[in-house]
Amino acid sequence: MVSPMKIISTLAALSLVALGGALVVTNPSEEKYAQHLSQTLTVETQATLCQPKEISERKRKVGEFLSNACEELVAGGKKLSDAEIQAMIVDNTDHTNRIVFSTYETKSPFGNYRAIGVLGQFFTHETADAATTDVVQTEPVTTDSEVTDN
């Protein structure tokens, strides 16, 4: 006969193995992180630039119209495609795969972000050191001296 303690310890061990397996299988990739951050930045940009603040009752309709027009402009007038933004995010992200979860640190022109990816989800926050970053640029920048030489 098997003792209750042996059954409990076996079930506990199996549960830990199952949990570990679930963490490994659902550990998000760097590409998924780039998609997540790209979507987050788009939403934040629309919210920051396009939401009317403290609009009076009289001006509410105008404010709503301007807000809607702004959101359409931001959403439809992208200068960079989603793929280009995601490539820039990947180029500027330090990704560490820790088997059961991943950590990400991104320095970009959009801001600096740190994130933890676990169970297929991302927990992201913006860091304060946005002004002092070295960002990998995806396209060459023309300097003033190059412009005058041509």
Show me where the domains of the chain are located.
Answer: 26-149
Q: What is the pLDDT of residue 140?
A: 39
* Cα of 3 vs its chain's centroid, Å: 50
CA distance between the termini of the chain = 90
Q: What is the pLDDT of residue 10?
A: 96
Closest CA to 107 of 84, 78, 128, 123: 128
| CA separation for the pair 108, 93 (Å, rounded) | 8
Residue pair 59/34 in contact (Cβ under 8 Å)? The answer is: no
Q: What is the pLDDT of residue 130?
A: 45
| CA separation for the pair 89, 110 (Å, rounded) | 10
Q: What is the pLDDT of residue 65?
A: 65
Query: Parallel, antiparallel, or unpaired: how do β-strands 111-118 and 93-97 relate?
Result: unpaired
Q: What is the pLDDT of residue 108?
A: 80
Q: What is the pLDDT of residue 123?
A: 95
Task: Identify the segments of the chain with pLDDT beneath 70.
Answer: 50-80, 129-150
